[in-house]
Amino acid sequence: MSFPPGAIRDAIIEYLTVVASGATTEEIMGAVRVRLGEVPSSSIRSYLNLNTPTRFERLCRGRYCLREHVGEYKGEFVDRPIFPSETLGGARAFNADCFEWLAVQAERSIHAIVTDPPYGLVEYTEKETIKLRNGKGGIWRIPPAFDGHQRAPLPRFTVLDEADKVRLYKFFMKFGVLAKRILVPGGNVVIASNPLLSHIVSSAMVEAGFELRGYLARQVMTMRGGDRPKNAHEEFSDVSVMPRSQWEPWVVLRAPLEGRVQDNLRKWRTGGFRRISADRPFGDLIRSHPTPSSEKKIAPHPSLKPQSFMRHLVRAVLPLGDGIIVDPFMGAGSTLAAANAVGYRSIGVELDEIFFDMAKSAIPLLANLKVRNDD
Ligand SMILES: C[S@@+](CC[C@H](N)C(=O)[O-])C[C@H]1O[C@@H](n2cnc3c(N)ncnc32)[C@H](O)[C@@H]1O
């Protein structure tokens, strides 16, 4: 594999610019590979050796920093974690806390984010996932069987109180600040949401520095809403507390452009959406369906998104079909599988080891599925 002139140099320098305390050779190699794919260790080592001490300082055995950062770090050299990872075609999956992962990635190294975060903030905690796996108690409700089909567990968004909403806002602010640093100008961010919470996501992300570019409507009948008042459903048999949800909002944001759209497209390869065809732009109303059982069998994750929708979305977020997509809350890897299916490079991060293992086996299978396209 050959790289554009200066690509390895730029990747090393950008990474070391962010980590002022320096980094181990292993970490530098990891960061360069996140950005460029499989780069031989020998190329990275020889670049470091040749440019030390002119450009880099060797702080101790196997640890380097940029020359201008020498003396900046006063504490002990604590190694940052090397996150376990797996390469699956053009995708790389990490088993890590995405907040820690995002914090150590090189600035302006990613071209788009497509993700479906844990909204309740509690439903994917260790305590709650144990309850989910035991099939008993916790925040997970098991909806009643419907049309003869047993439904999978769902998180209960409506149980969020005001304090939870403040926590959610802070969660997206923190996420937004970290995400903005690693995205190139004009990079798209598309976040799965729901009608009760999308305003919190968009306002926090705007405060973190993103531009709100609207919403995508994934047209799908969910099991949410449309219920009669609790404990009074006979008395108010003609009333629904809220509309039965027939769409799922995905918040669309963009990292601020550098110059005009055309300048940004030339320099960073981002700043718009890829058209479906010459006479058909990507639209914001996307017909979809619940995740098919064939996909859930491959990846039994409670929030698995369907491949047909994910491929349609993932293809569109890189306007020139070029760059790296990140899903920081990867789950069972539906975004990475979609990226593999459309021929893009991608990275996913998943905190839970069981879901990470599920993603490792599911991504190649989901990516190879032939799926029906609703749109
Ligand atoms: C709503 S699910 C995403 C499911 C995904 N859309 C799919 O199709 O498989 C959110 C995922 O984020 C993971 N998660 C929660 N907190 C995380 C964190 N701090 N870093 C990385 N992953 C996290 C959860 O374990 C869960 O699998």
59 plus 95 within the same structural domain: no
% the chain with pLDDT above 70: 85
Question: Does residue 136 or residue 337 have the better pLDDT?
Answer: 337
Does residue 374 fall inside a structural domain? Answer: no
DSSP for 242-291?
SPPP-EEEEEEEEPPPSSSHHHHHHHHS-SS---SBTTB---SEEE--SP
Residues 157 and 60 both lie in one domain: no
Ligand 1 centroid to 292 CA: how many Å?
20
Residue identifier of the C-alpha nearest atom 2 of ligand 1: 331
Residue 2 lies in a domain: no
Q: Which of 28, 57, 82 is the last residue of a domain?
A: 82
Q: Which atom of ligand 1 is nearest to the CA of 115?
A: 6
What is the per-residue pLDDT across 33-80, written as a single tens digit (0 to 9) for each?
877 888 999 999 999 999 888 889 888 888 888 887 766 544 444 444
* 68 and 115 assigned to the same domain: no
- For tokens 């980590």, the residue is 19
Q: What is the mean pLDDT of the chain?
A: 86
Which residue's CA is the nearest one to ligand 1's atom 3? 331
Q: Which pLDDT value is given to residue 311? A: 98
Residue 368 CA, ligand 1 centroid: distance in Å:
22
Which residue's CA lies nearest to atom 17 of ligand 1? 351
98 and 73, same structural domain?
no
Question: Which atom of ligand 1 is nearest to 303's Cα?
Answer: 4
Per the domain annotation, does 331 fall within a domain? yes
Examine the fold and report which residue of 82, 101, 131 is the final residue of a domain before the chain moves on.
82
pLDDT over 60 at 154, yes or no:
no
The domain boundary, picked from 82, 106, 138, lies at 82
- Structural domain including 133 reads 87-368
Task: Tell how far the Cα of 218 is from the centroid of ligand 1, in angstroms.
Answer: 19
H or E stretch covering 129:
helix 126-134
Residue 97, ligand 1, Cβ within 6 A: yes
Assigned domain for 137 exists: yes
Q: What is the four-CA torsion angle of 64, 66, 72, 77, rounded to 10 degrees?
A: -10
Residue 344 Cβ < 6 Å to ligand 1: no
- pLDDT-derived band at 219 (thresholds 50, 70, 90) equals very high
The answer, yes or no, to whether any atom of ligand 1 lies below 6 A from the CB of 302, is no
Sheet holding 23-24, edge to edge: 23-24, 63-66, 56-60
pLDDT at position 125, please?
65
* The predicted structure's pLDDT at residue 114: 98
Check which CATH number belongs to the domain holding 47 and give it: 1.10.10
Minimum-distance ligand 1 atom for the alpha carbon of 129: 25
Do 122 and 17 belong together in one domain?
A: no
Q: Does 273 score more than 90 pLDDT?
A: yes
What does the pLDDT average to over 344-355? Answer: 96
Q: Residue 201 is part of a domain; what is its CATH number? A: 3.40.50.150
Q: Tell me: the pLDDT tens digits for 2-17?
A: 788 788 888 888 778 7
Instruction: Please identify, by atom number, the ligand 1 atom nearest to the C-alpha of residue 305.
Output: 8
pLDDT at residue number 137: 63
Q: What is the mean pLDDT of residues 88-107?
A: 89
The percentage of the chain sitting over the pLDDT mark of 90, rounded to a whole number, equals: 54
Residue 29 and residue 112 share a domain: no
- Say if 324 falls within a structural domain: yes
pLDDT confidence of 239, banded at 50, 70, 90?
very high
In this structure, are 91 and 17 located in the same domain? no
- Rounded Cα distance, 178 and 99, in Å: 7
Mean of pLDDT values over 143-167: 55
User: How close is the Cα of 59 to the center of ligand 1, in Å?
Assistant: 37
CA 362 → CA 16, 40, 359, distances in Å?
Answer: 34, 28, 5
CA 4 to centroid of ligand 1, rounded, Å: 34
pLDDT surpasses 50 at 28 = yes
Identify whether residues 141 and 45 lie together within a single domain: no
Nearest-angstrom CA–CA distance, 375 and 364: 24
Indicate if 132 and 148 belong to the same structural domain. Answer: yes
Helix (H) or strand (E) holding 60: strand 56-60
Q: How many domains does the chain have?
A: 2
DSSP 18-53: H-TT-EEHHHHHHHHHHHHSS--HHHHHHHHHHTTT
Considering the domain architecture, whether residues 64 and 106 belong to the same structural domain is answered as: no
Does residue 182 carry a pLDDT above 80?
A: yes
Q: Is 248 in the pocket of ligand 1 (CB under 6 A)?
A: no
Please report the pLDDT score of residue 66 as a whole number: 86
Q: Confidence class of residue 149 from pLDDT cuts 50, 70 and 90?
A: very low
Residue pLDDT, tens place only, 306-319: 999 999 999 999 99
In this structure, is residue 248 part of a structural domain?
A: yes
What pLDDT is stored for residue 27 in this prediction?
A: 82
* Residue 92 in contact with ligand 1 by CB distance below 6 A: no
CA of 1 to the centre of ligand 1 (A): 32
The pair of structure tokens assigned to 331 is 């789950």
